[in-house]
Structure 1
Amino acid sequence: MDNRFINVVLLGLAFMILFTAFQATGMISQSVLEGVKNETVNGTSFHGSGYISMAILYSFFALTNVFAPAIVSILGPSVSMFLGGSTYFLYVLSFIYPMTWSYYVVSILIGIGAAVLWTAQGVYLANNSDDLTISRNSGIFWALFQVSLLAGNIYVFIALKAQIIDRATRIPLFVVFSIVSAVGLLIFMFVIWRSYVEKHRHTLSRIVEEKKSTLADVIHTLKVAGALLRTRNMLLLLIPFAYSGLSNTLFQGVFATCIGHYVKYGDTRKRLIGLHGILIGCGEILGGGLFGFITKPKTASQRALMILVGCILQMVYYYSVFVNFPVDSASNETTTKPYFDFNSTTSQVITFIGSFIVGLGDSSLNTQLMNVLATRYKQTTASAFAIFKLVQSLMAAIAFFYAGSLQIQWQTLIVVLFLFFGTLAFFAVLFDETDNDLTAPLITNTIQEDEDIQSTAQQTHASPIA
């Protein structure tokens, strides 16, 4: 079997297991912390917010993305993924005995770690793919990654049986999640070992790094990112990048909390958050296989069709959110009537059909984004993926900051506008074949400038006057 294919499968498995705990934790964090606030330990109560934690996380994610390509360049993608993944373990562990100060500190750490992890993932996936296998590999990774939504949320659905998540329920839940996260880290260690073996055996020359990075390499990586941002198509891609961050905030964070807050859904409504996550995962997995592995879109027209299908599916989902949920459901427990006051059964059917649909539509956008970044920016993969994650995380941070105070219909409107214009921007990029020609001169000039500086420095160092 092709070693590069095995590497992609291991990558997907590592992310699947690590994010089994984290994705479920992210969905229920606000509801969990509402229960923690009812507890008092040593005379001290908890005052943290899941929304604020996520806003801090994504803020540091955005900030660290500026330096993430340099970190990955110095440490290598496999080691970078392990170190970044370790912060996810700490985050999940913090929910066993949450304290306000430690909860926010670990939110900062995971923001830093996430930037390194995802930039390294993009580099590692590109290193193990070519133009013929990138669609297949992106689909395989995405499908395996989204399995994490199933296992973790199935456990949430089984474990949460009351309207308040108390201490007796929380501790066993997060002990299990912490153990699962540790298993994910073990697989990343195996990925490091494979990279070491392959480097010394020269079986994967594209992964072999012949020299250590220097400060000049770090500066060069940042210059390349700046050069990419001066190209028309990268600027257009910033819109779907931004949409990706806003949409994930809504359907994985805010909308999950809305379900737990909607009193109409009964005393066991917290466990329905788990069902929501399961159905998103089913949609993401099916979409990853359908839009990446099965259809294998290669032409601009084929990729545009995948994007259009995803756009329509997500539009349907956002409309269902608008008509089916009370305007204040994101911020507190509510009995307010929504735009269409369906009975509980009908409302839940609409909600959970929507959960599956948005997962299916989201996978279309993400597989095609990874496809475009890995093929059109193959010589600057780390910088391109860092820009993607920078914009995505920055918009997610902004969305989480207003999530608890802005009514759900306005949050939905913002996301829909970005979806519409992001789809148009994506079409413009797909049907423009000049992107590589426009980017190449900028990258070449950047490299030439670095070489001139290094040459001047060497001459100065060799001069007797100096």
Structure 2
Amino acid sequence: MALSAGGKAFYNVTILGVAFLLVFTAFQTCGMIQTVVLRDDKDFQGSGYDSLAIIYAVFAAANWIAPSVVALLGARCSMFLSAVVYTGFVASFLHPIPWVLYSLSGLLGLAAAVIWTAQGNYLTENSTEQTMGRNSGLFWAMLQGSLLFGNLFFFLEMEGINSVTTHLRTIIFIVLTVISGVGVLTFLFLTKPPEEFSSLSIQEEGPTGGFGLLMKAVTAFVRSAKLMLNKEMLIISVTNFYTGLELTFFSGVYGTAISNTKSFGADSNSFIGISGMLIGAGEITGGLLFGILGKKTIKFGRDPIVLLGYVVHMICFYLIYINLPAESPINPVFPRNGVPVSIIGPNIELAFACSFMLGFADACFNTQIYSLLGSYFKSDSASAFALFKFIQSAAAAIAFAYSLVILLHWQLLILVVCGTLGTLSFFYVEHHPPRNEI
């Protein structure tokens, strides 16, 4: 029986979520553990932070051409090819070689810009004003399920083990590579968005011939450049920048800080897995809460949800400040006789509680940003989401770079200041929607 337009759209959003769940189960787990994995590989001369900084630096720059790529290839093809690159990056950890890893990091940055631009475009094409909040929350919850499964696997593999051996690394990354590969195949089940919903400038079909394709790509680039000068887009960029900083913190820095806090005992490495699962649980809770209740919460606007995320983040940052050693993001910190390594002495239960809070607050911000961009810039969603990812990934690249040298309390101070400015910026745009799109 043929599906209705709404049913077809919901099918596409569900398949989109499953595909991203699988691919990012591999990639997000890889991102959280790669610094520790490479640290324990005595033959590897480099750093996981360097790889992540390259990814997000290229990611930021590539967002300017991503709408053109999506215009040329279409959203579905763009996501499929990008997912292939993600799988290759994960597979490179089977035998990490610096020049190979860093080269693939750069290529992955390009693929990331394309896949997220295409995702935002495709999600919007399968949503209406009434379903955008629900679909954003559903997709976000499914995506962040990746943090549960990958990190649970890592925890079970690392329990009671002090370092990642070559044999263990091979097992972990074979499994992650296979999972990502299945995700690549899942993209093939996506269908064309319902014509009733499709009102975007970037379509699956377009002019053929070299000149027509070139003009399509140039037009997409010009629209992105113009949209960047939109007053409200400039203001919401402050919020986007903050999400990039806190993305870096919860996805790469916080797990490393827990692993480096040796007061937690011999299982401190495996605790990265538990922390990642709890971050994922927080993300899923927020995504489902604001997705399922989207029709009710939208009556009060998006800003109460963002305010909730801000308050949770600020409390969380204070608790992390008093709980973890200042040097923990950079170097292992061992117990000292009679000398506290943190203000209250490291407490693993409190550290895990903060993991959940980091994920929940991140979901508060991101689900509402997705909803806002999809609603306010519906006819230019590809450009809007590309600019969102441009600012976010630029911030993430900066944060991964300074994470190597800046102590924990300074990193937290940066997050507090930028979080406050980002929240105020969101409030302004929520109550002053753009009068005209480009």
TM-score by length of 1: 0.87
Asked if residue 5 in structure 1 is aligned to residue 10 in structure 2, the reply is: yes
Instruction: Look up the match of 1:84.
Output: 82
Instruction: Look up the match of 1:394.
Output: 394
Instruction: Look up the match of 1:452.
Output: none
- Does the 8 Å contact 2:125/2:198 carry over to 1? no
Asked if residue 320 in structure 1 is aligned to residue 319 in structure 2, the reply is: yes
**Secondary structure class of the residue paired with 1:253:** helix
1:216 Cα shift? 2.1
Q: Aligned runs of 1:59-458 on 2, under 5 Å?
A: 59-161=57-159, 162-191=161-190, 194-195=191-192, 209-212=205-208, 214-296=213-295, 299=298, 301-335=300-334, 337-342=340-345, 347-433=347-433, 435=434, 437=435, 439-440=436-437, 443=438
Change (3 A) 1:48 1:23: same
State the AA in 2 paired with 1:64.
Answer: A
Unaligned runs of 5+ in 1: 39-44, 444-466
- Distance in 1, matches of 2:224 and 2:296, equals 27
CA deviation digits over 1:46-65, x for unaligned, max 9? 11210000000001101111
CA deviation digits over 1:251-280, x for unaligned, max 9? 110011011111101111111000000001
1:295 Cα shift? 3.9
- Distance in 1, matches of 2:420 and 2:367, equals 18
1:338 Cα shift? 4.1
- Distance in 2, matches of 1:112 and 1:52, equals 16
Change (3 A) 1:205 1:360: closer
1:341 Cα shift? 3.1
1:184 Cα shift? 0.2
- Distance in 2, matches of 1:296 and 1:324, equals 38
- Distance in 2, matches of 1:338 and 1:122, equals 44
Percent of aligned positions with the same letter in both sequences? 38
CA deviation digits over 1:270-307, x for unaligned, max 9? 11000000001111001001122224356574311111
- Does the 8 Å contact 2:21/2:146 carry over to 1? yes
- Distance in 2, matches of 1:73 and 1:125, equals 15
- Distance in 1, matches of 2:244 and 2:198, equals 34
Change (3 A) 1:210 1:65: closer
**Secondary structure class of the residue paired with 1:258:** helix
- Distance in 2, matches of 1:100 and 1:76, equals 33
- Distance in 2, matches of 1:150 and 1:120, equals 25
- Does the 8 Å contact 1:260/1:269 carry over to 2? yes
- Distance in 2, matches of 1:394 and 1:74, equals 25
Most deviating of 148-157 and 211-220: 211-220
Change (3 A) 1:159 1:299: closer
- Distance in 2, matches of 1:416 and 1:115, equals 27
Change (3 A) 1:171 1:299: closer
1:224 Cα shift? 1.5
- Distance in 2, matches of 1:35 and 1:15, equals 29
Unaligned runs of 5+ in 2: none
CA deviation digits over 1:186-221, x for unaligned, max 9? 101222xx33xx79xx68765652434522222222
- Distance in 1, matches of 2:287 and 2:317, equals 21
- Distance in 2, matches of 1:72 and 1:313, equals 36
CA deviation digits over 1:397-442, x for unaligned, max 9? 0111111111011111111111101000000000114x1x2x33xx
**Secondary structure class of the residue paired with 2:93:** coil
- Does the 8 Å contact 1:65/1:387 carry over to 2? yes
State the AA in 2 paired with 1:57.
Answer: I
- Does the 8 Å contact 1:94/1:103 carry over to 2? yes
- Distance in 2, matches of 1:73 and 1:208, equals 8
- Does the 8 Å contact 1:137/1:293 carry over to 2? no
State the AA in 2 paired with 1:84.
Answer: S
TM-score by length of 2: 0.93
- Does the 8 Å contact 2:333/2:341 carry over to 1? no
State the AA in 1 paired with 2:344.
Answer: D
Q: Give the superposed CA RMSD.
A: 1.7
CA deviation digits over 1:78-130, x for unaligned, max 9? 00001111111011101111111111111111111101000000000000001
- Distance in 2, matches of 1:338 and 1:367, equals 37
- Distance in 1, matches of 2:24 and 2:229, equals 34
